[in-house]
Amino acid sequence: MSDSRSNAPVNEEKLDKLAQVAVHTGLGLEAGQDLLITAPLTALPLVRKITEHAYKAGAGLVTTIYSDEEATLARYKHANDDAFDHAADWLYEGMAKAFGSNTARLAISGDNPMMLAEQDPEKVSRANRANSKAYKPAIKKITGFEINWNIVSYPNPKWAKLVFPDLGEDEAIAKLADAIFAASRVDQADPVAAWSQHNADIHARRDWLNQMKFRDLHFQAPGTDLIVGLADNHEWAGGASLAKNGITCNPNIPTEEVFTTPHARRVNGTVRATKPLAHNGSVIENIEMVFKDGVAVEVRASKGENVWNKVLDTDEGGRRLGEVALVPHSSPISQSGVLFYNTLFDENAACHIAMGQCYTECFVDGDKLTEDEVTEKGGNSSLIHIDWMIGSDEMDIDGITQDGERVPVFRKGEWAN
């Protein structure tokens, strides 16, 4: 981050449209609502535009909490060892309190994916664990859709250079910005209308899956032969969601997935990643896992295996699935051919599964279930939720009905019907 970014090569007009999409389609911000933003300092130009559009939409108070790569690295360099088991619980308690009084939540994703790659994995994992634990009261209100929330993205110079290593910095930023704009549909004449159409398409897929009520999904591709049992009374979700405060929001911009809750004790077989996974400042490559009765009993990766195992050891639920998501290979993000090293984009380029926490909204009447009832129906619980990509143009998926009948869902990476 430097002041020279004030003339950074990001298209102003499209940036303004992205801010409008974030406020109106992403958040569905209502007049009188406060807004809490978290963002890396490098995303300042987008924060300013979002703040402007939020106030134009009648926001009460917009508050932004910034993070900074240099400050984060200073901690790894100079902090006492004890400090890595420490997190700002007071901050997350404050966030939870804000959400409890109907404050909307917007996160800007765009950190350098390799920020922590050189740091001690033990310290990284301790810091993440402490942070996830402290974050719990706030994240529960977000994943439980008590309020409207949204994640959008803005290019960071180091991230842009990772995605486009052969380009100069300015060119790489411009190109990553354009890829973000295209994936977020703000390169279209009327982005808000484009999102309405896209939401309708996703909802049609979601409704079909909910009608089928499959017992299991069978994923087959080179290196993958995996049966994912679906949780009892699971419900598929995707696209715009109605939050409990009565506001319809699009939690992720972009989004291409329909997703639901797998059964944490009924996953069996082998599965191979089709994309590298960027997680909290490290990149993990060529993940392969064997599942038995829901647990990942064998875990391999050609790069970052140690980091990945430490992440999965966060708690008992870390080696079980909390999400299964379907994304066609023809999705615009996949067709762009860009590997973003950022889950917000990469998960929307391929079918994926997530280790860890399930979404309770992915159950029929999920908001009325107790934690024990969620567990009994097969929902997983964990401090982590990490999506990793398994889809490709070679993936076939069968749905297996409650009677054991097979129905084609995907063929060669595309919807079969």
Binding to Zn ion (CB under 5 A): which residues in 288-327? 323, 325
Q: In angstroms, give the least distance from the CB of 345 to Zn ion.
A: 12
Contact of 259 with 321, CB cutoff 8 Å = no
Enter the DSSP assignment of 91.
Answer: H
Strands 62-67 and 35-40, sheet pairing = parallel
* Residue number, 64 or 143, with CB nearest to Zn ion: 143
Q: Could you tell me which stretch among 102-110, 124-132, 217-225, 383-391 binds Zn ion (CB under 5 A)?
A: 383-391
* Residue number, 237 or 301, with CB nearest to Zn ion: 237
Q: Could you tell me which stretch among 14-22, 89-97, 109-117, 256-264 binds Zn ion (CB under 5 A)?
A: 256-264
As a whole number of angstroms, the distance between CA 340 and CA 254 comes to: 13
Structure tokens at 235: 């419900």
Q: In angstroms, give the least distance from the CB of 3 to Zn ion.
A: 36
Contact of 349 with 286, CB cutoff 8 Å = no
* Residue number, 146 or 387, with CB nearest to Zn ion: 387
* Residue number, 69 or 387, with CB nearest to Zn ion: 387
As a whole number of angstroms, the distance between CA 371 and CA 380 comes to: 10
Q: Could you tell me which stretch among 63-71, 110-118, 206-214, 380-388 binds Zn ion (CB under 5 A)?
A: 380-388
Contact of 413 with 391, CB cutoff 8 Å = yes
Q: In angstroms, give the least distance from the CB of 384 to Zn ion.
A: 11
Strands 104-109 and 149-153, sheet pairing = parallel
Enter the DSSP assignment of 101.
Answer: T
Give ∠ CA 223-226-230 in degrees, rounded to 5. 155
- CA 184 to chain CA mean position, Å: 14
* Residue number, 387 or 398, with CB nearest to Zn ion: 387
Q: Which residues are paired to 229 by β-bridges?
A: 216
Q: In angstroms, give the least distance from the CB of 357 to Zn ion.
A: 9
As a whole number of angstroms, the distance between CA 415 and CA 411 comes to: 6
Residue 220: in which H helix or E strand, if any?
strand 216-221
Q: Could you tell me which stretch among 31-39, 205-213, 250-258, 262-270 binds Zn ion (CB under 5 A)?
A: 250-258
DSSP states of 24-80:
IIII---TT--EEEEEEGGGHHHHHHHHHHHHHTT-S-EEEEEE-HHHHHHHHHHS-
Q: In angstroms, give the least distance from the CB of 314 to Zn ion.
A: 16
Query: x/- string (CB under 5 A) for Zn ion, residues 173-212?
Result: ----------------------------------------
Query: x/- string (CB under 5 A) for Zn ion, residues 333-372?
Result: --------------x------x------------------
- The single residue listed with the structure tokens 């970052």 is 304
Q: In angstroms, give the least distance from the CB of 403 to Zn ion.
A: 28
- The single residue listed with the structure tokens 């994936």 is 183
Classify residue 402 as exposed, middle or buried by CB count within 10 Å of its CB (0-12, 13-18, 19+). exposed
Structure tokens at 302: 């050609």
Q: In angstroms, give the least distance from the CB of 223 to Zn ion.
A: 21
Structure tokens at 239: 């696209």
* Residue number, 146 or 257, with CB nearest to Zn ion: 257
Q: Could you tell me which stretch among 80-88, 110-118, 174-182, 386-394 binds Zn ion (CB under 5 A)?
A: 386-394
Q: In angstroms, give the least distance from the CB of 89 to Zn ion.
A: 24
* Residue number, 238 or 399, with CB nearest to Zn ion: 238
- Contact flag: residue 273 with Zn ion (CB under 5 A): no
Q: In angstroms, give the least distance from the CB of 386 to Zn ion.
A: 8
Q: In angstroms, give the least distance from the CB of 203 to Zn ion.
A: 16
* Residue number, 356 or 399, with CB nearest to Zn ion: 356
Classify residue 311 as exposed, middle or buried by CB count within 10 Å of its CB (0-12, 13-18, 19+). buried
The one among 216, 256, 346, 387 contacting Zn ion by CB under 5 A: 387
Q: In angstroms, give the least distance from the CB of 111 to Zn ion.
A: 18
Structure tokens at 273: 């990643």
Q: Could you tell me which stretch among 3-11, 18-26, 252-260, 263-271 binds Zn ion (CB under 5 A)?
A: 252-260
Binding site for Zn ion (CB under 5 A): 257, 259, 323, 325, 347, 354, 387
